[in-house]
Amino acid sequence: MTSPDIAIIGGGNAALCAAITAAEAGARVLILETAPKSYRGGNSRHTRNFRCMHHGPLGPLVDSYTEEEYLADLMKVTGGKTDEGLARLAIRTSEECLPWMEEHGVRFQPSLSGTLSLARTNAFFLGGGKSLVNAYYRTAEKLGVQVEYEAAVTHLELDEDRVTRIDYTQNGQTHTIAPKSVVVASGGFQADTDWLARAWGPAAKNFLIRGTPYNRGVVLADLLDQGIEQVGDPTQCHAVAIDGRAPKFDGGIVTRLDCVPFSIVVNKDAQRFYDEGEDVWPKRYAIWGRLVAAQPDQVGYVIIDAKSLELFMPSVFPPIKADTLEELADKMGLPADALVQTVSEFNDACGDTSNFHPTELDGVTTTGLTPAKTNWARPITEPPFYGYSLRTGVTFTYLGLKVDEHAQCSIGNRPVTNLWAAGETMAGSILGQGYLAGFGMTIGTVFGRIAGKEAAAHANAN
């Protein structure tokens, strides 16, 4: 094939934003997506919203959400480990992204039922991330962007500070192209569980991957091996506790469990290990991935009783149900005596529950129990009893390519003249740890557009 002006590696949100922007600047663009068409769009196909700054009502967003408030929210979750300059750039640009997204086919809807707390800060995609991805592919193709599916990039050849060649395989054949500009938007490496296990230890083999099986970090490893500037370390990842019955890959949003605050959570020895009622669930669900990962066999068990069953959003698998705790333990493979004892110790530590309030911190706490349950502590007494198993579900990894405000990669102390990165694969440049709901799509949209613009300017000038 004749080489395009710009090759974009990846087929998710960041890649598409880059492709559309570059094509609108007049460049001939090729997207290399390793997934087949039915699975195109990486993790972006699983998303539901993006976080957007705005002065006054904007699209589906109410009130306003200022730069300072947005930044403060970010600083809180990352514990200050944030590149403030790039974060401000992402936040400030997010406001113009929303109309840009609409112009390019994305449709928004009011916050989903059960997520009203996000109505001010996060704009939800009508139909979710896959409909966003579909709309962008339509737009890109109309602009003449060429898309190759099942095209797995294996290597970028570097000559000093320039990418001279891209190798990819498709249908068992190897192809080589030499585009003028290259944008890497191929996500993290979380789907390569061997790599995860090297970083985390063998426990990582038991992790589930919430999103695409195609983000295996092949391009990331290839570039880091050649000395492209790195950011973050491989042990950092965003992980949450999800239903233990979820598929190994691609289980997505429906495998989340929101019942922890109303439960006790035990390990496989039927022992509690953390305060289930520490905070409201949206603020705590991200720490439970690590908590469960630290337990034997990387598994946890949520136990609730009949009175709590309807307090949380239903999830995809029905709970395991039993009339007695012994029977429940039996069905879940837990030691029955130990479970009965743990529950009765917990029940004995519960006090006055008359202030119980499911949606706010109610201070209904245990006394004299370690670990304590500091909110929503009601005895587990009312049959039938229900249980869910919990496993660690990895959302994405933080190890990535370091970029500047032009989304450009560097080697040694100088920029690589024709290499840009966008999305998950460079998110570590902004977030050192922690995560703020909806910020992943903001980073991808903002830096995808920047990368597309810069890559096109370079290609058009050369």
Ligand X SMILES: Cc1cc2nc3c(=O)[nH]c(=O)nc-3n(C[C@H](O)[C@H](O)[C@H](O)COP(=O)(O)OP(=O)(O)OC[C@H]3O[C@@H](n4cnc5c(N)ncnc54)[C@H](O)[C@@H]3O)c2cc1C
- List contacts with other proteins (CB under 8 A): 38-39, 45-46, 48, 107, 109-110, 112-114, 125-131, 134, 138, 247, 250, 252-254, 256, 310, 313-316, 318
Contacts of 116 (CB under 8 A, 6+ apart): none
Q: How many residues bind ligand X (CB under 6 A)?
A: 44
Q: Which are the contacts of 208, defined by CB distance < 8 A and separation ≥ 6?
A: 242, 246, 247, 248, 249, 251, 255, 391, 392, 393, 394
As a whole number of Å, the end-to-end CA separation of the chain is 20
294 binds, options ligand X, other proteins, none, Cβ within 5 to 8 A by partner type: none
Of 212, 389, 418, 445, the residue at the interface with ligand X (CB under 6 A) is 212
State the Cα–Cα distance between residues 445 and 244, nearest whole angstrom. 32
In the complex, the smallest distance separating the C-beta of residue 373 from ligand X, rounded to whole angstroms, is 28
x/- binding map, residues 232-261, to ligand X, per CB under 6 A? --------------------xx--------
In the complex, what is the shortest distance from the CB of residue 54 to other proteins, in angstroms, rounded to a whole number? 20
| Cβ distance to other proteins smaller for residue 99 or 247 | 247
The token pair that represents 91 in the structure block:
């936040």
Tell me the C-alpha distance between 421 and 247, whole Å: 30
Among 7, 29, 30, 49, binds ligand X (CB under 6 A): 49
How far apart CA 52 and CA 90 sit, in angstroms, is: 9
Least separation, in Å, of the C-beta of 128 and other proteins?
A: 3
Burial of 207 (0-12, 13-18, 19+ CB in 10 A): buried
Question: Which neighbouring-strand residues pair with 353?
Answer: none
Answer with the entry of other proteins, ligand X, none that 440 interacts with (C-beta below 5 to 8 A by kind).
ligand X
Look-up of token digits 């603020």: 283
- φ, ψ of residue 392 in degrees (nearest 5): -80, 125
Paired with 238 in beta bridges are 396
Smaller CB separation from ligand X, 129 or 387: 129
Closest to other proteins by CB, 126 or 294: 126
Rounded Cα gap, residues 367 and 33, in angstroms: 55
11 lies in the binding site for ligand X (CB under 6 A): yes
> How many other C-beta atoms lie within 10 A of the C-beta of residue 232?
22
| Min dist. Cβ of residue 261 to ligand X (A) | 21
DSSP E strand boundaries for 228-363:
230-231, 237-243, 264-266, 299-305, 320-322
215 binding partner (options other proteins, ligand X, none; Cβ < 5 to 8 Å by kind):
ligand X
Question: Which tokens belong to 95?
Answer: 């406001």
Q: Which does 438 bind (CB under 5 to 8 A by kind): other proteins, ligand X, none?
A: ligand X
- Name which of residues 372 to 431 contact ligand X (CB under 6 A): 395-396, 423-425
Of 381, 260, 264, 237, the residue nearest 315 (C-alpha)? 260
Instruction: Work out whether 441 is an interface residue with ligand X (CB under 6 A).
Output: yes
Binding segment toward ligand X, per CB under 6 A, in 26-34, 169-177, 299-307, 369-377: 26-34
* CA distance to 227, 228, 383, 454, per residue, from 412 (Å): 7, 7, 64, 21
Among 215, 295, 298, 342, binds ligand X (CB under 6 A): 215
* Residue 159 touches which of ligand X, other proteins, none (Cβ within 5-8 Å per kind): none
Q: Which is nearer to ligand X, 342 or 392 (CB)?
A: 392
- Position 10 contacts ligand X (CB under 6 A): yes
Which of ligand X, other proteins, none does 229 bind, CB closer than 5 to 8 A by kind? none
184-203 residues near ligand X, rule: CB under 6 A:
185-187
Residue 325 CB, shortest distance to ligand X, in Å, is: 33
Stretch that binds ligand X, among 35-43, 55-63, 91-99, 349-357 (CB under 6 A): 35-43
Sign of the C-alpha dihedral computed for residues 181, 397, 433 and 66 taken in this order: positive
Amino acid at 302: V
Choose between 135 and 228: whose C-beta lies nearer to other proteins: 135
Cis, bond preceding 36 (omega within 30 deg of 0): no
Residues in contact with ligand X by CB under 6 A are 9-15, 32-35, 41-44, 46-50, 152-153, 185-187, 210-212, 214-215, 218-219, 252-253, 395-396, 423-425, 438-441, 444
